[in-house]
A and B are shown apart, each in its own frame.
Chain A
């Protein structure tokens, strides 16, 4: 019945919407976590430089957005592979969506909390009684874990922090609506700088330095995909080509940024921003072969489990990662 519905609807959709499929190539769809930007340079490079093609793959890259949950897309069959952060991937797993990490191109976390210096915040303890901007939509977990580690309630009041749901930009900090906001080393931090504040006007806490860094952009698939030898073979080729793309992007940052820009259809990005972002991204991917380091995984799980009264995940996940793909891809 489901199949019937699918065919019927696909027939509807085919009215002028059929994508041109390259003959003889295996199709694979990748769902990004966010809009087209240098954060995903490796995949765009692999596509534009023909690395995927060399592996016999025809990869479709779907950009994400502020209200696209990659996990939901893969659950609905809209993608074969998604890029997600581990906290939200593990939380989805606990909700019954069996996501498995097959590769981890990002070694380090780029997440930070950036405060205006004039607020007098110097150390994490000073956050008590302050207003802090946090991203939600599955990205709030690292912050909540950090606060519960420090024992600071997130319900406001003089002892706790008042949490705001931060929009897509850094305006809350610029307009003094928040004392601190969440930033990424490669993106929002530089938007603050671009807006005219100087690094010495800011106090920044890197999650990496605070010991609460959780794994960011990793590649996830559904458990069932790993039972299908044909799919596993595709994934192996995909990971191999993607990592080749990342290596190339790290070495040729300017060209990589240009490739990203060519793929951006909104026309909102500028080369200067993307080159700079590429430089920062390269720092995060450096040192990762693509293989998930089990120690990093354990650290992430421990942070998420330590959530006090409201932990992100309630029990240690089983089988949430595998080296099956990377073992074959990176030989």
Chain B
């Protein structure tokens, strides 16, 4: 409970900064408009007008919240304009990509820890793979996959898996190697096989790392999906909302979509956090 107050303070401070920034950034437009219309405006009038523009440079928080409310609870759930609909469109490939990415990441990590050749050859290239701007080539990836007959959910999921597997690999390699030398030696004195060392020592010891990398991976998977939607034919999904918002200069819509994405990300991370607490408590990591 003692965390609520500090968090609230920080959030309020951010909101205050936001309002000030909104006034600052939107004032120019009010002044330009007034100049074209040929009358002058007072300070108070400027502030008032910066709070309610149709296409503000930076929408005020209450405008974004109003748009969020309107686009989620203010309309039918099945409507194509509903943000819930678009969120679901984005969430489905995210979850699939998250699954693919996590499994791939786990397998790679296990391979790296147990196989010297893989350790030496895969890791540098896994890092190099992340420096390839997948975001920039996402449209090409989708076109290429389309050309061999893969459409719909899977191309988006693959791009999201591509971003998601890396944090899992890095975290799990660290985690699987986290048991101290002395513990591994102990297992050896028990004459444990590599398999037994893995199941009874390495894997349990890696659990805290596992959940941390899952959280990062989930966020990365969501980003991957959004990016896959962004340039590839604004059809539907949160990425498409961002794009069409940008295309039509609907800044309020962009921010609402960003917030919806934030809520999704927070929900994903939150769910993983809950599981983490449960599991780690039962395993005795948290006392």
A and B touch in the complex (CB under 8 A): yes
Q: Are B235 and A168 in contact (CB under 8 A)?
A: no
Q: Mark B118-155, 1 if CB is under 8 A from A, else 0.
A: 00000000000000000000111001101111111110
Q: Cβ of A68 and Cβ of B152 under 8 Å apart?
A: no
User: Nearest residue in A to B147 (C-beta to C-beta)?
Assistant: A76
- Residue in A12, A78, A196, A201 whose beta carbon sits within 8 Å of that of B143 in the complex: A78
Kindly identify which residue among B151, B233, B241, B247 contacts A63, using a CB–CB cutoff of 8 Å.
B233
Known A-B contacts A63-B233, A68-B143; A13 and B240 likewise in contact (beta carbons under 8 Å):
no
Q: In the bound complex, do residue B231 and residue A67 qualify as a contact, i.e. CB atoms below 8 Å apart? A: yes
Q: Which of B139, B152, B235 contacts A265 (CB 8 A)?
A: B235
A155 CB–B CB distance under 8 Å:
no
User: Is residue B206 contacting chain A, with contact meaning CB distance below 8 A?
Assistant: no
Considering the complex, which residues of chain B in the window 51-91 have a beta carbon less than 8 Å from any beta carbon of chain A? 55, 57, 79-82, 86
Digit string of B24-39 for contact with A (CB within 8 Å is 1, else 0)?
Answer: 0000010001001000
In chain B between 213 and 244, which residues have their CB closer than 8 angstroms to a CB of chain A? 231-236, 240-241, 243-244
Contact A268:B253 (CB < 8 A) given known A76-B146, A196-B33, A201-B36? yes
* Range, interface on chain B: 35 or more
- B235 / chain A contacts, CB cutoff of 8 Å: 63, 265-266
A331 within 8 Å of B by Cβ?
Answer: no
Q: Is the CB of A12 within 8 A of B233?
A: no
A167 at the interface (CB under 8 A from B): yes
CB of B276 within 8 Å of the partner chain: no
Would A65 and B148 be within 8 Å (CB), given that A73-B143, A78-B143, A169-B246 are in contact? no
In the complex, A323→B46 CA distance in Å?
61
Which residue of B is nearest A14, CB measured?
B149
Contact of A35 among B82, B152, B247 (CB under 8 A): B247
Q: Distance in Å from the Cβ of B25 to the closest Cβ of chain A?
A: 10
**Which residues of B lie under 8 Å from residue A69 when comparing CB positions?**
143
Shortest beta-carbon distance from A264 to chain B in Å: 8
Say whether chain A's binding surface is mostly helix, strand, loop, or mixed.
Answer: loop
Say whether A65 contacts B243, CB under 8 Å.
Answer: yes
Provided the pairs A77-B147, A78-B146, A268-B241 are in contact, do residues A67 and B232 lie with their beta carbons within 8 angstroms?
A: yes
Q: How far is the CB of A75 from chain B (nearest CB, A)?
A: 8
Cα A305 to Cα B18 with chains together (Å): 52
- From residue A91, how far is it (CB to closest CB) to chain B in Å? 18
Q: Could you tell me the distance between the alpha carbons of A68 and B247 in the complex, rounded to whole angstroms?
A: 15
Residue of B nearest to A191 (CB): B249
Interchain CB contact under 8 A, B248 and A265: no
A286 close to B (CB within 8 Å): no
Given A62-B233, A68-B139, CB of A5 within 8 Å of CB of B246:
no
Shortest distance in angstroms between B227's beta carbon and chain A's nearest beta carbon?
A: 11
* A1-35 with Cβ < 8 A to chain B: 5-6, 9-10, 12-13, 17, 35
Q: Tell me if A65 and B232 are in contact (CB < 8 A).
A: yes
| B148 lies within 8 A of A9 (CB) | yes
Query: Do B150 and A76 have beta carbons less than 8 Å apart?
Result: no
A225 lies within 8 A of chain B by Cβ: no
Which residues of A have CB within 8 Å of B143? 68-69, 72-73, 76, 78
Judged by a CB distance under 8 angstroms, whether A267 is at the interface is: yes
Q: CB of A171 within 8 A of chain B?
A: yes
- Cα(A12)–Cα(B154), bound, Å: 9
Determine how close the nearest CB of chain A comes to the CB of B278; give it in whole angstroms.
Answer: 32
Do A66 and B150 contact each other (CB < 8 Å), given the known contacts A201-B36, A265-B236, A268-B253? Answer: no
How far apart sit A175 and B143, CA to CA, in the bound complex (Å)?
A: 34
- Residues 223-257 of A, flagged 1 when their CB comes within 8 A of B and 0 if not, give 00000000000000000000000000000000000
Is the C-beta of A38 less than 8 angstroms from some C-beta in chain B? no
A326–chain B nearest beta-carbon distance, Å: 28
- Please measure, in the bound complex, the distance between the C-alpha atom of A266 and the C-alpha atom of B238, giving whole angstroms: 9
Asked whether, in the complex, the Cβ of B234 is within 8 Å of the Cβ of A13, the reply is no
Interface residues of B, Cβ cutoff 8 Å to A: 29, 33, 36, 55, 57, 79-82, 86, 138-140, 143-144, 146-154, 231-236, 240-241, 243-250, 253
